[in-house]
Amino acid sequence: MHMPHVGLRSTGGRDIDVADLGERRTVLYIYPRTGRPDRPVPAEWDAIPGARGCTPESCGFRDRFVEISALGAGVFGVSTQDTDYQREAAERLHLPFELLSDSEFTLTDALRLPTFHFEGERLLKRLTLVVRAGRVEHVFYPVFPPDGHAEEVLAWLSRPGARA
């Protein structure tokens, strides 16, 4: 499947065309939303399958970033939260990669990504795309448990014959 030419605003202040990420592999881990320590998580959030775990998933990619990069892959996190919200999370979590905002659902709708509704918001279900040269090379879906997902992606990138 080809990636659509969609520009998503990054926490680094630039627009990233997800169809033009280059020849190397890029991991796009897609998640519902990150919480904030100053705001309680609604009790109903835990009842939604796959909703909980966005912060641990992001921290997993942070902790495995050097290893993923050593295999020649880039990393971006993607959610429908706005860039300012994402920037706060990226700084607080010390993420060494940028987060991309699909707040207008441009990528979501172009790829028909799975979503759900919570408290009047449309949110993405958790999944990961490995993109290379404008094509989706691999999809991880469903993703569980989220806190171990970066290791799962690292194992896939490390498998025999995967490098190039």
Examine residue 69 and state whether it is found in any structural domain, yes or no: yes
Residue 160 is assigned to a structural domain of this protein: no
Give phi and psi for 151, each to the nearest 5: -65, -35
Q: Fill in the amino acid letter for 94.
A: H
Quote the mean pLDDT of the chain. 94
Q: What is the CATH number of the domain that holds 19?
A: 3.40.30.10
Rounded to whole angstroms, the Cα distance separating 161 from 158 reads 8
Q: 83: domain range? A: 7-134
Each residue's pLDDT tens digit, 11-64:
999 999 999 999 999 999 999 998 777 778 787 887 888 888 888 999 999 999
Say how many domains are in the chain.
1
In a domain, 74, yes or no: yes
> 163 pLDDT band (50/70/90 cuts)?
low
Task: Indicate whether 71 belongs to any domain.
Answer: yes
Domain contains 162:
no
* pTM listed for this prediction: 0.94
